[in-house]
Amino acid sequence: MKTITSPAKMASVSEALRASGKKIGFVPTMGALHEGHLALVKEAGKHADTVVVSIFVNPIQFGPKEDLKKYPRNLKKDSALLKKLGTDILFYPSAKDIYPEGFNSFVEVKGITDKLCGASRPGHFIGVATVVSKFFNIVKPRFAVFGLKDFQQQAVIRRMVKDLNMDVEIKTIPVFREKDGLAMSSRNAYLSKEERKAALVLSRSLAVARELVRKGTRKRSAVLGAVKRTILSEKTASIDYISISDPETFAEKPVIKGPTLIALAVFIGKTRLIDNTVVNGG
């Protein structure tokens, strides 16, 4: 595995790969890799000649009061994991190289970013869309793989790629979970033992919702109420949002009809976790 830190070097290596007909598959991450990330890399490996994984804790997607400083970083361990998987290139640029002095251009996807995580984290998706555009320009992938754990993120990226005629195919993989149901996340590392147990309330409340829908409940208020009650049964849990919405527009749905996204952001203590499921109301 080659590790490249310079964006210019990465761009020229990618240029040469493309010129020689190689299909580049790209997996952008913020590191502190877990099995969910590795599933993305494996998916990329199935379809690419060359797999490029980036590790970059993108400062501009964090709010001023968020966890940029304490976000887990473990390059050595991440490198070893990626090497073991047969990753071809690790792209590991510095924030200075990505946002040099004078940097002043941003990519904004409107509309769908006003809702869910976009409403709770103003500016977050501008940071995401900007860095992903930059990385697409540098890495020049034929396709990129994103996880459905960040459901809104992949929708924002798809919108951006379509609207801006970017020549990149977007692939996704399902939410990768721990055995007990907790969605894998680098932020799970913040949880104490007690909080780790309490965090199961996210997947549990989604299971309650799925079961209600399976048994025929279609009323938003009934599902919302059940999810809310389940979450609040944990005393360390507080709700950022619960959304029952259209998986493409994120417009809230009064009735669960057709494919419907049930998405949550919940604080367990001070740690904000997200999870989601798509149900079909028929």
Total residues contacting ligand AMP (rule CB under 6 A)?
16
The single residue among 136, 146, 190, 250 that binds ligand AMP, judged by CB under 6 A, is 146
Residue 206 Cβ vs ligand AMP, minimum distance, rounded to whole Å: 13
End-to-end CA distance of the chain: 47
How do strand 89-91 and strand 143-147 relate by DSSP bridges?
A: unpaired
Asked if 173 touches ligand AMP (CB under 6 A), the answer is yes
Q: What mask, x for binding ligand AMP by CB under 6 A, covers residues 12 to 51? A: -----------------xx-----xx--x-----------
Asked if 274 touches ligand AMP (CB under 6 A), the answer is no
Residue 245 Cβ vs ligand AMP, minimum distance, rounded to whole Å: 18
Q: How far is CA 228 from the centre of its chain?
A: 23
Asked if 91 touches ligand AMP (CB under 6 A), the answer is no
Residue 92 Cβ vs ligand AMP, minimum distance, rounded to whole Å: 13
Nearest CA among 194, 176, 161, 187 for reference residue 43: 176
The single residue among 38, 156, 184, 212 that binds ligand AMP, judged by CB under 6 A, is 184
Q: Choose the stretch contacting ligand AMP; rule: CB under 6 A; options: 88-96, 102-110, 144-152, 205-213.
A: 144-152
Asked if 185 touches ligand AMP (CB under 6 A), the answer is yes
Residue 25 Cβ vs ligand AMP, minimum distance, rounded to whole Å: 13
The span from the CA of 217 to the CA of 181, in Å, is: 23
Residue 214 Cβ vs ligand AMP, minimum distance, rounded to whole Å: 23
Angle between helices 124-139 and 151-163 (to 10 degrees): 60
The single residue among 149, 159, 204, 253 that binds ligand AMP, judged by CB under 6 A, is 149
- Report the residue count for the chain: 282
Asked if 113 touches ligand AMP (CB under 6 A), the answer is no
Nearest CB to ligand AMP, comparing residues 151 and 253:
151
Nearest CB to ligand AMP, comparing residues 178 and 281:
178
The span from the CA of 47 to the CA of 271, in Å, is: 35
Q: What sign results for the dihedral spanned by CA atoms 39, 56, 183, 249?
A: negative
Residue 135 Cβ vs ligand AMP, minimum distance, rounded to whole Å: 12
Kindly state the helix (H) or strand (E) to which residue 213 belongs, with its residue range: helix 200-214
Nearest CB to ligand AMP, comparing residues 133 and 185:
185
Indicate left, alpha or beta for 272 from its phi (over 0: left) and psi (-120 to 50: alpha): beta
Q: Among all residues, which ones are annotated catalytic?
A: 37
Q: What sign results for the dihedral spanned by CA atoms 101, 103, 104, 106?
A: negative
39-77 core/surface letters (b: 16 or more CB in 10 A; e: else): bbbbbbbeebebbbbbbbbbebbbeeeeeeeebeeeeee
Which residues would be at the binding site for ligand AMP (CB under 6 A)? Answer: 29-30, 36-37, 40, 146-147, 149-150, 173, 175-176, 183-186
